[in-house]
Chain A
Amino acid sequence: MRIADLIGGVVVLILGVAVIYFSSQLEYYSEFGPGPGFLPLWIGIIITAGAIYVIINLLTKHSRTREFFKPRTKLGLQILITIIITFLVLPLLGFSIGLALFIGVTMRMMGKHRWVPCGLTAIVTAIGIRLIFISWLTIPLPRGLIGW
Chain B
Amino acid sequence: MKMNKLLQVTAMVFLMILIFVSGARAADWKPSKPIEFVAPFAPGGGSDVLARSIASIIEGEKLCPVPLLVVNKAGGSGLVGTTAVAQQKGDPHVLLTYIPGQAQAALVAGKGAPTFRDLTLICGLALDEQLIVVKADSRFKTIQDIIAEAKKRPAELTVGGTGAGQDDQICQRVFERSAGIRFRYIPFKSGGECITALLGGHVDMIWANPPEFVPQWEAKMVRPVAVAKLTRMSEFPDVPTLKEIGHTVTYFFYRGIVTPQGIPAEAAAFYENMFKRLAESSAWKEKYLTKYMLSPGWMGSKEFAKVVAQNEEESKEILKDLGLLK
- Using a CB–CB cutoff of 8 Å, the interface residues on chain A facing chain B are 32, 138, 140, 143, 145-148
One digit per residue, 1 when the CB lies within 8 angstroms of any chain A CB and 0 when it does not, for chain B 59-75 equals: 00000000001010000
B2 engages A147 (CB within 8 Å): yes
Please report B residues at the A interface, Cβ cutoff 8 Å.
1-3, 6, 36, 69, 71, 184
CA–CA, A52 to B6, complex, Å? 61
| A-B contact number at CB 8 A | 15
Nearest to A145 among chain B residues (CB) is B3
The minimal Cβ–Cβ distance linking A39 to chain B, given in whole angstroms, is: 16
Our pick among A138, A140, A145, A148 for the contact of B1 (Cβ within 8 Å) is A148
Q: Once bound together, how far apart are the Cα atoms of A32 and B155, in whole Å?
A: 11
Given contacts A138-B69, A148-B1, 4 further A-B contacts (CB under 8 A): A140-B71, A146-B3, A147-B1, A147-B6
Q: Which of B1, B3, B69, B184 contacts A32 (CB 8 A)?
A: B184
Contact partner of A147 (CB less than 8 A), chosen from B3, B71, B184, is B3
State whether A140 touches B36 (Cβ < 8 A): yes
Cross-chain contact of A148 among B2, B36, B69 (Cβ < 8 A):
B2
B residues less than 8 Å from A143 (CB atoms): 2
- Chain A to chain B contacts (Cβ below 8 Å), 15 pairs: A32-B184, A138-B69, A140-B36, A140-B69, A140-B71, A143-B2, A145-B3, A146-B2, A146-B3, A147-B1, A147-B2, A147-B3, A147-B6, A148-B1, A148-B2
A74 to B190, CA, bound (A): 47
Q: Give Cα distance in the complex from A147 to B69, angstroms.
A: 17
CA A147 to CA B3, docked complex, whole Å = 6
B2: nearest residue on chain A (CB-CB)? Answer: A147
